Amino acid sequence: MAPMAVVALILVPPPSLSLHPSQGVSVGDTVTLRCHLPRLAAWVRLYRNENPNYIKQKDKVQDMTEFSLNGIKKEHAVSYQCRYKGLKPAGTSQKSDPVELLVTDHSYPPPSISLSSEERVEMRTNVTIQCWNEMYAVTIFLHKDGHSAPIQHQEPNAGGTATFTLCEVSAADSGTYRCSYRVRGCCLLLSPLGNNVTLEVIPNPTPPGDDGGPSRNLVAAVMGGCAAAIVIVIVLTVSLLLIDQRRRMQRDERPGGEGANWL
């Protein structure tokens, strides 16, 4: 029987599971978990936190089914998986890859944040942002306004502080930054976002004596070269004319020359 069970698992590919919404879920919200199937299923089951016992089931599913979690609580902030029993071919799939439901709990204090430099810095400067919470943080996340997910994360040091470095910043690094942290304990709870700091990256100033950079210097060099060439041509032309005029004068001064006929 064991070999047949293995063959059945191979013939029935696993489903995939997704969260909606996947970000910004708070205690009290409603979350939908969608299990996507590659074929018709007799049933689909939802599992919580790698527990072998399923928590919900839907029967006769074509290609996708939804499970709703209403009034999210702290204990809902765990990982989830789904699996199904296929009809053609028959067999039970393996569980999907787990997805984590991160829930924001506003009962926890938000973290503090500070910027290591002035709010206006020049391009290619290294900027350090520090976030801290001494009591509750197990992982600290750095957020940037306009991004749906954190841009960096880090475990805090013994003092509860995480130090994030933005290396050689460019104009794209300008913006507003905030922090949150994952709460110590059994569940995937997040703190609310803390206060913000704003970073403005400005172009580097033009060095003294710089008249416009390499492109302008190149144009000046080309124009200078053209002017020099024109001067050389003029000098050569004048020289040739003088030489020719002198030769004419020498011929006129010789006996029998053109000048003698005028006398």
Do residues 97 and 120 share a domain?
no
Q: What is the pLDDT of residue 263?
A: 30
Percentage of the chain exceeding pLDDT 90: 62
Do residues 57 and 11 share a domain?
yes
Q: Where among 104, 124, 143 does a domain terminate?
A: 104
Q: Which residues contact 239 (CB under 8 A, 6 or more apart)?
A: none
Domain CATH for 167: 2.60.40.10
pLDDT-derived band of residue 123, with 50, 70 and 90 as boundaries? Answer: very high
Do residues 163 and 87 share a domain?
no
Taking the C-alpha atoms of residue 87 and residue 91, their distance in angstroms, rounded to an integer, is 7
Q: Where among 71, 104, 137 does a domain terminate?
A: 104
Do residues 30 and 99 share a domain?
yes
Q: What is the pLDDT of residue 24?
A: 86
Do residues 182 and 117 share a domain?
yes
Do residues 8 and 74 share a domain?
yes
Lowest mean pLDDT among 64-73, 105-114, 198-207: 198-207
Range of the domain at 116: 112-202
| Residue 238 domain flag | no
Q: Where among 150, 183, 202 does a domain terminate?
A: 202
Do residues 82 and 123 share a domain?
no
Percentage of the chain exceeding pLDDT 70: 74
Would you say residue 163 has pLDDT above 90?
Answer: yes
Taking the C-alpha atoms of residue 181 and residue 110, their distance in angstroms, rounded to an integer, is 8
| Residue 219 domain flag | no
Q: What is the pLDDT of residue 77?
A: 96
Mean pLDDT across the chain: 83
Number of domains forming the structure of the chain? 2
Would you say residue 169 has pLDDT above 70?
Answer: yes
| Residue 123 domain flag | yes
Taking the C-alpha atoms of residue 38 and residue 14, their distance in angstroms, rounded to an integer, is 8
pLDDT-derived band of residue 227, with 50, 70 and 90 as boundaries? Answer: low
pLDDT-derived band of residue 58, with 50, 70 and 90 as boundaries? Answer: very high
Do residues 93 and 171 share a domain?
no
Would you say residue 224 has pLDDT above 80?
Answer: no
Q: Which residues contact 120 (CB under 8 A, 6 or more apart)?
A: 200, 202
Do residues 93 and 137 share a domain?
no
Would you say residue 252 has pLDDT above 80?
Answer: no
